[in-house]
Structure 1
Amino acid sequence: MNRSNGLPDDGYALIVDGQVKTEFKTRESAEAGARDLKRRFPVLQIRLYDAESRRAEEFA
């Protein structure tokens, strides 16, 4: 994990309402976690961060 911004150096992370919450090794597991959160809490803003490309995308 990069200490300056809290984002992982590898794998994937869920950014929930602007805060890094959970890290995952694979994209599939990150998407499954995001789907579960969105199902339980539909108003949350969830972004999926990819450490390899250093980009986050909105999860709808």
Structure 2
Amino acid sequence: MMKLSKDLPLSGYAIIVDGLVKTEFATRDGVEAGARNLKRRFPTLQVKIYDAAAGAEREVSAF
């Protein structure tokens, strides 16, 4: 789990870039599209999706 839990949303989803919460989304489709687009544009960044309901995060691959 992340160290910066105070910054994580209580609901919805978030994109985490290099350990920092950058953007929050209300829907899974929105966060998935945003994270994939970001990873395609900047493949060297560590991009993760945080799901507030599950309290879990997962890494996004380039493809």
Fold agreement, TM-score > 0.5: yes
CA separation in 2, counterparts of 1:43 and 1:20?
17
Query: When the two structures are aligned, how many residues end up with a matched partner?
Result: 57
1:19 and 1:26 map into 2 onto residues whose CA distance is 19
SS in 1 for 2:58: strand
| Whole-angstrom CA distance in 1 between matches of 2:60 and 2:36 | 8
Helix, strand or coil at the partner of 2:6: coil
The match for 2:9 is: 8
Give percent identity, aligned residues only.
60
CA-based RMSD: 0.9
> TM-score under structure 1 normalisation?
0.89
